[in-house]
């Protein structure tokens, strides 16, 4: 097993993301489009915005993650790079995890970095900001993992983005519930620990099972 393949793949994925430029900035653009448009739609009252802020930021993060899923494995599948993973001297599950990690770096991390600004724009109470960032840190990797599974399963279908969204949504509902629950609890002055604990349990579950499932799903689609 050649572990130097993992940093090599990560570096190339990030280089390709930089080459694609605008396309890679879409998740962030999406986040701000939602954050600017919703107050225009529901009215700019601080109380109303503060109460919907956790949900808003989380829905934006979820849709941002979904945007880049279609191209998670498809270009590699079409140009033949993906089948090269199975030549025997490469750690396939490690490569899958590396690819999911680069998806998180491109879609999850920017949302986390700009969350403080988004929280300010929506009048989220200051004491809930830390919990918001913590919930994003635990929750966005789950979005990448679950999304990756759906992307791998729909690889063989012709442009399966509709099917992909249908597969992803029910699976990420618990993430959304516990994450926004944690932030709302903190904003109301309660302890967010129970919600964050359940969210972490989901992350552990996804981290252990998803890479194996993705590897199996990709293998099926290559044949």
Partner 1 sequence: MSMLLQARAVSFRRQGDRIFTPLDVDLVAGQAIVVLGPNGCGKTTLLRLLAGILEPAEGQVQRHAATAFLGHASALKGELNCRENLEFLRRFHGCPGISSSRALARTGLTGLGLRPARALSAGQKRRLGLAGLLVAPRPIWLLDEPYASLDDAGGQLVDELLNEHLDNGGSVALSTHQRKPLLTRAARELQVQRAEQEEPA
Q: Which is nearer to partner 1, 46 or 88 (CB)?
A: 88
Using the rule CB under 8 A, which residue among 22, 40, 47, 87 binds partner 1?
87
Binding mask 89-128 for partner 1 (x = CB under 8 A): xx--------------------------------------
Question: Per rule CB under 8 A, is residue 22 in the interface with partner 1?
Answer: no
* The binder of partner 1 chosen from 22, 46, 88, 170 (CB under 8 A): 88
Other CB atoms within 10 Å distance of the CB of residue 209: 12
- Do residues 190 and 125 lie in contact, with contact meaning Cβ atoms separated by under 8 Å? no
- By the rule CB under 8 A, 158 interacts with partner 1: no
Angle, vertex CA 136, rays to CA 31 and CA 61, nearest 5: 25
The reply on whether position 40 binds partner 1 by CB under 8 A is no
CB closer to partner 1, 78 vs 188: 78
Considering the complex, state which of residue 41 and residue 223 has its C-beta at the smaller distance from partner 1. 223
Q: Which of 84, 93, 120, 157 binds partner 1 (CB under 8 A)?
A: 84
Q: Which residues contact 23 (CB under 8 A, 6 or more apart)?
A: none
Q: Which of 16, 26, 38, 133 contacts partner 1 by CB under 8 A? A: 16
Q: Does 80 bind partner 1 (CB under 8 A)?
A: yes
Which residues contact partner 1 by CB under 8 A?
A: 2-5, 7-9, 11-12, 15-16, 19-20, 78-81, 83-84, 86-90, 222-223
């Amino acid at each position: 097993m050649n572990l130097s393949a993992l940093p090599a793949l990560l570096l190339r994925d990030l280089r390709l993301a930089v080459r694609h430029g605008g396309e890679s900035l879409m998740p962030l653009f999406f986040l701000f489009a939602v954050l600017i448009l919703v107050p225009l739609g529901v009215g700019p009252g601080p109380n109303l915005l503060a109460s919907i802020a956790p949900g808003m930021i989380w829905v934006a993060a979820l849709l941002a993650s979904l945007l880049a899923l279609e191209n998670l494995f498809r270009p590699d599948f079409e140009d033949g790079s993906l089948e090269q993973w199975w030549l025997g001297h490469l750690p396939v599950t490690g490569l899958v995890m590396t690819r999911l990690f680069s998806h998180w770096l491109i879609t999850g991390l920017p949302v986390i970095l700009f969350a403080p600004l988004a929280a300010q724009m929506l009048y989220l109470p200051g004491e809930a900001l830390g919990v918001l960032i913590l919930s994003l840190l635990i929750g966005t990797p789950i979005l990448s993992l679950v999304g990756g599974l759906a992307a791998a399963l729909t690889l063989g279908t012709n442009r399966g983005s509709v099917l992909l969204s249908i597969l992803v949504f029910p699976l990420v509902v618990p993430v959304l519930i516990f994450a926004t629950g944690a932030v709302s609890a903190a904003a109301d002055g309660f302890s967010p620990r129970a919600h964050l604990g359940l969210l972490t349990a989901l992350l552990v579950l996804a981290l252990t099972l998803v890479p194996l499932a993705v590897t199996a799903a990709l293998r099926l689609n290559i044949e």
